[in-house]
Amino acid sequence: MGQTKTIRQKPRLETKEENEIMVKKEFACDQCGRKMEAYPPDDSYTTFFIKSCCEKSIERKYECDDCNFRNVRYWCVRHTVIVSASYDIDRELDRTYSF
């Protein structure tokens, strides 16, 4: 029977372009206010919310080191807003901000 040789490779370091760097977000613990950091699940998730914004949102829980409270946050992909040429922004603003 032949011998099996184990080949160990060095970990490959991936380089990223400047626009592909993961975005770090800072937020305060909902219970005690301690400053916390959060990183997205991957490079395509760049927006950070307290509530889910759509079906693409990914829920993450961050436990505070001071009070052990579990803070729930949502990561989502950047959304593109498409506005129709027939969209009347002035009418929409009047309707939204009528006093």
Q: Where does residue 57 rank: exposed (0-12), middle (13-18), buried (19+ CB within 10 A)? A: middle
Q: How many CB atoms lie within 10 A of CB 40?
A: 19
Q: What is the pTM of this model?
A: 0.58
Instruction: Say yes or no to pLDDT of 12 above 60.
Output: no
Residue type, 62: Y
CB 29 within 8 A of CB 67: yes
Q: How far apart are the first and last CA of the chain?
A: 87
Closest CA to 75 of 52, 98, 91: 52
Report whether 40 contacts 74 (CB < 8 A): no
Predicted confidence at residue 98, as pLDDT, reads: 45
Q: Which residue has the higher pLDDT, 69 or 96?
A: 69
pLDDT digits (tens, 9 = 90+) for 29-68: 999 999 999 999 888 888 889 998 888 899 999 999 999 9
